[in-house]
Amino acid sequence: MKGTIIRNATVVNEARTFTADVFVQDGRIAEVSERGISGLRDVNEVEASGLHLMPGVIDDQVHFREPGLTHKEDIAHASAAAAAGGVTSYMEMPNTVPNTLDRVLLEQKYDLAAACSVVNYSFYMGVSNTNLEEVLYVDPRMVCGLKAFLGSSTGNMLVDDPDALTGLFSKAHMILAIHAEDEATVQANTRAAQDRWGDAIPMEQHPLIRSAEACYRSSSNAVALAREHGTRLHVLHISTARELELFSPGSLDGKRITAEACIHHLWFTDEAYATKGSLIKWNPAVKTQADREAIRQAVKDGRIDVVATDHAPHTLEEKSRPYMQCPSGGPLVQHSLVAMLELVRQGVFTLEEVVHKLSHAPARMFDITGRGAIKEGYQADLVMVDLNAPWTVEQGNILSKCGWSPFEGQQFSARVIKTWVNGELAYSDGAVDRTVRVSDSTDETLCTSSLGSDPGLWGTGGTRG
Ligand code: DOR
């Protein structure tokens, strides 16, 4: 492959912002030079004066709906949306149909992604009340982690049997990511809302039904179990201020219990139900402004370790149903980076914090070697952005198959200009190159997806043995 030199880029990497030339060859970052690179012949030249270059985003929570729910989303559309949003790697959830509860189904997902994903991928192994034996057979190098729903959401993948939970927390042999909402509390709140409102429960009730109490009960219980058993626990999509007391500030070093925040909980508050209605109905629910401010602060001080999307599309028809029939979730993978950059503009985060939470930290957390930073020898997963090129989210520029976004009408100041995946230009100036295939890579070891240090098989559909 012809090399590419990205000239005069403002590189944001490892807590520094500096001007440099970056040379990409054979899928990897060959050189990063603040003095400039000269003497190269027969390379593609990309002028990046005035533009920022960051490591590609690594999203540790997406629902790409394949197999079984492809009327909502599929890997081809969602990975294209990811590339357009500067997301170069994703970790996908098991609440597809059928649920990813055994190794055969897991293998099928890797095959599906190998055939059409334009960005790197890994898949979680799902946990149920009854599949622990199968879970323990999964090679940690094959998957990014285990996923257990401790409260049911789309797909009713619930782990609620106390013995199953003890078995899982005591034996999990890799990172255990959880959805934490207490099922009994949610059920009781739902019944109370139905008694009061009948079939016409207002969307504004969602954060009171999927309440802060439900979140705290479940996440504190999970953290207690993890402490008891030494589990490597990762609590997904923290949505309340109170839960933050469960996590430690500071770097990832030595942490056995980590937390994730999602874009919607960092952006919206319960005031938005009045205008956005079901388009911001997520589980866990978007809560109060005080919750949002506390989560933002926790991203800054390290109680929240990574930021992700929980990209979870449903069709507009499904989202227009009454509360009880309306599924939770929405598409976000195309807009996570630009939304975070908007929060930089608003003074909430720094550029370096955004790069840390979206790229460096997920790479470290999931032991993904050779990705998540702009360093010589690393895979060239890169995103180039113009921080001053305003544009508006509208139906015509949404790539998710569902065709809508909770951000419709929102103007973002930053625009993704180009995204490289393994050195290949997957997105450039408004167009996704849908012929890019991660599985075409001849590289043996793209990264590891486990907590171990063995060469993993993540996103290398073509090289799995
Ligand atoms: O709102 C949500 N939707 N939260 C989840 O955890 C699942 C997701 C989905 O799959 O629709």
| Cβ 95 under 6 angstroms from ligand 1 | yes
Q: Which domain holds residue 229?
A: 56-365
Q: For 252-295, write each residue's pLDDT tens digit.
A: 999 999 999 999 999 999 999 999 999 999 999 999 999 999 99
Place of tokens 């840390």: 356
Residue 163 lies in a domain: yes
Q: For 307-317, write each residue's pLDDT tens digit.
A: 999 999 999 99
pLDDT at 397: 97
Q: Mutation test of ligand 1: which of 310, 318, 326 has the most ligand atoms closer than 8 Å to its C-beta?
A: 310
pLDDT at 155: 76
Residue closest via CA to ligand 1's atom 10 equals 154
Residue 278 lies in a domain: yes
Q: Which atom of ligand 1 is nearest to the CA of 63?
A: 10
Q: For 131-146, write each residue's pLDDT tens digit.
A: 999 999 998 888 999 9
| Cβ 282 under 6 angstroms from ligand 1 | yes
Number of structural domains the chain divides into:
1
Residue 198 lies in a domain: yes
CATH of the domain at 319: 3.20.20.140
Band of pLDDT at residue 439, cut at 50, 70 and 90: low
Ligand 1 mean position, distance from CA 207 (Å)? 14
The most confident of the ranges 39-43, 170-174, 365-369 is 170-174
| Cβ 154 under 6 angstroms from ligand 1 | yes
pLDDT at 433: 86
Q: Chain-centre distance of CA 114, in angstroms?
A: 19
Residue closest via CA to ligand 1's atom 4 equals 283
Residue 346 lies in a domain: yes
Contact 459, 438 (CB under 8 A): yes
Residue 447 lies in a domain: no
Residue 322 lies in a domain: yes
Residue 146 lies in a domain: yes
Sign of CA dihedral 293, 294, 300, 306: negative
Residue 329 lies in a domain: yes
